[in-house]
């Protein structure tokens, strides 16, 4: 049996391009080049039937290490807590107040982009501190 080495993370959302561009800023990801034969993603989008225009967008890790993120428009809004979320690893290797300071600094960078600060969960002797956040459409993620 072979093992899977690559995967993408898919977000259901109302505005795929807007949410994708937010995550590009959060993670340092980039928008990949448009498909062959199109100068821009806008040109590609205009070639689609009206009901498919603006329905999807993607971003990728420029180093090729991280997973591709795919954003697809869905008609329903977010209702309950995510069952899966991203942990943005900004405090790796840090402990105590140094870790909290790194989490707070990243939070301060993301809030002007539209992120919403949640609860800071302080280290409890088993888990290190992390900070709950929401993206621009209310999807939960953690600064870890």
Kind of pairing, strands 8-13 and 68-73?
Answer: parallel
Residues with Cβ < 8 Å from 84, sequence gap 6 or more? none
Which pLDDT score is estimated for 1?
Answer: 64
Classify 89 in phi/psi space as left (phi over 0), alpha (psi -120 to 50) or beta. Answer: beta
> Under a CB-based contact definition with an 8 Å cutoff, are residues 121 and 127 in contact?
yes
Tell me how far apart the alpha carbons of residues 17 and 133 are, in angstroms, rounded to a whole number. 20
Kind of pairing, strands 116-121 and 68-73?
Answer: unpaired
Which pLDDT score is estimated for 11?
Answer: 93
User: End-to-end CA distance of the chain, in Å?
Assistant: 34
Tell me the pLDDT tens digit for each residue of 85-137. Answer: 899 999 999 999 999 999 999 999 999 999 999 999 999 888 899 999 999 99
Instruction: Return the number of other C-beta atoms located less than 10 Å from residue 56's C-beta.
Output: 17
Q: Where are the domains of the chain?
A: 8-73, 86-143
Alpha-helix runs per DSSP H in the chain: 16-27, 41-46, 96-110
Residue 139 above 90 pLDDT?
yes
Of 70-74, 78-82, 112-116, 131-135, the range with the lowest mean pLDDT is: 78-82
């Amino acid at each position: 049996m072979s093992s899977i080495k690559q995967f993408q993370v898919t977000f259901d959302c109302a505005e795929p391009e807007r949410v994708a561009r937010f995550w590009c800023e959060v993670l340092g990801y980039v928008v990949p080049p448009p498909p062959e034969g199109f100068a821009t993603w806008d040109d590609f989008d205009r070639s689609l039937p009206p009901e498919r225009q603006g329905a999807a967008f993607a971003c990728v890790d420029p180093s090729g290490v991280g997973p591709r993120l795919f954003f697809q428009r869905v008609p329903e809004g977010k209702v309950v807590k995510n069952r899966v979320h991203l942990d943005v690893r900004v405090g790796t290797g840090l402990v105590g107040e140094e870790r909290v300071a790194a989490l707070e600094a990243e939070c301060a960078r993301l809030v002007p982009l539209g992120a919403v600060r949640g609860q800071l969960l302080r280290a409890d002797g088993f888990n290190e501190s992390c900070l709950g956040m929401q993206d621009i459409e209310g999807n939960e993620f953690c600064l870890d």
